[in-house]
Amino acid sequence: MSAVLLIAGRELRAYLRSPLGAIVVSGLLLMTGILFYIFGLNAEKLLSAEVLRQFFYNASGPILIACPLLSMRLVAEERQTGTLTLLHTAPIRGWHIVLGKFLSAFGVIALATVLTAYMPALIFVNGKVSLGHILVGYTGLLLLGAAAMSIGLFASTVARSQVVAVVVSALILAPLVTLWLLAKVTDPPLSGFLAALSLHHENFRPFMEGVLELQHVVYYLAVTGFFLLASTQVLEARRWR
């Protein structure tokens, strides 16, 4: 586990040294704030719970955009600079590299998500919402961020450049996010199956409404675990080439 923490610390310092982390976090906060003002604080005749629900819906979009941008450099940059060979020859396993890099990038996106907490707090000025609703909503945002980050890490693992990594992330995320649209034009039981696989709509909705359901938590953890495992397998396969 010490190897994982060493890699995570190394990556976190890399985010602090480069402008990428600051730019992505600032952009996420700016986009979330603008959307919250337009569709939340500036909206008329919305109950406080509806404003909070709209906040979580709007906050999920910038997170889905930020994750590929943060994760694109994790492995692709190592390959471009030649430092990935050093990691491969070090006495560490592939899962150490994957988990360490994932924790560092997820830590950044988690920090950015937590920094938005002042926005739902503004609802208390003229309204009242449940703290449980806020906690469940943020749990959903973090789970969504973890799933999206694992997809971005996988894309960075298979891509040879950071630009390609972003493109691959988008090609995976876009269908997963929009599966609910395909579910609307198909018949049961296929429609239910597609809706259950959707990364955002059906699985994120309960969190937006302040309802914590185990199957949706398991879904996001399963997606995260699957793509972390896939990233590990790709790294291990390339190590022995």
Mean local confidence (pLDDT), 3-14: 84
Mean local confidence (pLDDT), 115-142: 88
Degrees (nearest 5) of the Cα angle 228, 141, 131?
A: 140
Nearest CA among 115, 111, 109 for reference residue 36: 115
The pLDDT confidence band at residue 237, using thresholds 50, 70 and 90, is: confident
**pLDDT tens, 75-122?**
887 777 766 655 556 667 777 888 999 999 999 999 999 999 988 888
The count of domains in the chain is 1
For 6, the 3-state DSSP assignment is helix
CB atoms within 10 A of CB 238: 15
The pLDDT confidence band at residue 61, using thresholds 50, 70 and 90, is: very high
Supply the range of the domain harboring residue 230. 2-239
* pLDDT value of position 1: 67
**pLDDT tens, 70-81?**
998 888 877 777
Q: How far, in Å, CA of 92 to CA of 222, rounded?
A: 25
How many residues in total does the chain contain?
241
Within 13 Å, how many C-alpha atoms sit on residue 198's CB side?
21
* pLDDT value of position 116: 93
